[in-house]
Structure 1
Amino acid sequence: MPTNRKPLRRLGFLTIGLFDGTDPGPGHERTLRMVELGERLGFDNAWVRHRHLQYGISSPIAVLAAASQRTSRINLGTAVTPLGWENPLRLAEDLATVDVLSGGRLDAGFSVGPPGHLDHVKHALYPDTADHEDFGYGRARRLVDLVRGARASDFRGVEGFEVFSDRVQPHSPGLGSRLWYGGGSLRSARWAGENGLNLLSSSVVKAEQPGPHDFAEIQLALIREFRAHHPDGDAARVSQGLVVIPTDSASPQQRAKYEAYAQERLPRTAEPQGPGRLLFAPDIVGTSAEIAERLHAHAAFREVTEVAFALPFVFDEDDYTQILTDIATRLGPALGWRPAS
Structure 2
Amino acid sequence: MLRKLGFLTIGLFDEADPGRGHESTLEIIELGERLGFDSAWLRHRHLQFGISSPVAVLAAATQRTSRIELGTAVTPLGWENPLRLAEDLATVDILSGGRLNPGISVGPPMQYEQVKDALYPDSGSVEDFSYTRVERFLAAVRGEAVTDFEGSVGFEQFSQRVQPHSPGLASRLWYGGGSLRSAQWAGEHGMNFLTSSVVKAEESEDFEQIQLSHVRAFRAAHPAGRVSQGLVVIPTDSATASQKAKYAAYAEKRLPRTRAPQGPARMMFAPDLVGSSAELAERLAAHAAFQEIDEVAFALPFTFEHEDYVQILTDMAQSLGPALGWKPAV
1: CA distance between counterparts of 2:45 and 2:98?
24
Provide the secondary structure at the position in 1 that maps to 2:134: helix
Give 1:74-113 correspondences, 5 Å limit.
74-113=68-107
- Asked whether 1:272 is paired with 2:266, we answer no
Equivalent position of 1:219 in the other structure: 211
1: CA distance between counterparts of 2:299 and 2:114?
29
Aligned pair partner of 2:282 in 265, 275, 293? 293
Equivalent position of 2:233 in the other structure: 244
Aligned pair partner of 2:198 in 181, 204, 226? 204
Once the two structures are TM-superposed, the CA of residue 223 in structure 1 deviates from its matched residue by 0.5
Give the TM-score normalised by the residue count of structure 2: 0.99
Any gaps of 5 or more consecutive residues in structure 2?
Answer: none
Equivalent position of 1:3 in the other structure: none
Equivalent position of 2:300 in the other structure: 311
2: CA distance between counterparts of 1:12 and 1:189?
21
Q: Deviations over 1:230-262 (max 9, x none)?
A: 2xx1x4210000000000000111111101110
1: CA distance between counterparts of 2:88 and 2:119?
19
Equivalent position of 2:26 in the other structure: 32
Provide the secondary structure at the position in 2 that maps to 1:46: strand
Q: Aligned partner of 1:226: which letter?
A: F
Equivalent position of 1:4 in the other structure: none
2: CA distance between counterparts of 1:130 and 1:303?
41
- Asked whether 1:23 is paired with 2:17, we answer yes
Provide the secondary structure at the position in 1 that maps to 2:75: strand
CA RMSD across the alignment: 0.7
Q: Aligned partner of 1:308: which letter?
A: A
Q: Deviations over 1:105-140 (max 9, x none)?
A: 000000000011111111111111111111010000
2: CA distance between counterparts of 1:11 and 1:157?
45
Q: Deviations over 1:48-102 (max 9, x none)?
A: 0011000000000000000000000000000000000000000000000000000
Give 1:1-341 correspondences, 5 Å limit.
7-209=1-203, 211=204, 213-230=205-222, 233=223, 235-341=224-330
Once the two structures are TM-superposed, the CA of residue 21 in structure 1 deviates from its matched residue by 1.1
Q: Aligned partner of 1:86: which letter?
A: E
Provide the secondary structure at the position in 2 that maps to 1:173: coil
Q: Aligned partner of 1:334: which letter?
A: A
2: CA distance between counterparts of 1:307 and 1:139?
27
Give the TM-score normalised by the residue count of structure 1: 0.96
1: CA distance between counterparts of 2:46 and 2:130?
19
2: CA distance between counterparts of 1:75 and 1:236?
17
Between the aligned residues of both structures, percent identity stands at: 72
Q: Aligned partner of 1:300: which letter?
A: A
1: CA distance between counterparts of 2:124 and 2:40?
33
Q: Aligned partner of 1:288: which letter?
A: S
Provide the secondary structure at the position in 2 that maps to 1:20: coil
2: CA distance between counterparts of 1:214 and 1:121?
34
Once the two structures are TM-superposed, the CA of residue 159 in structure 1 deviates from its matched residue by 1.2
Provide the secondary structure at the position in 2 that maps to 1:200: strand
Once the two structures are TM-superposed, the CA of residue 314 in structure 1 deviates from its matched residue by 0.5
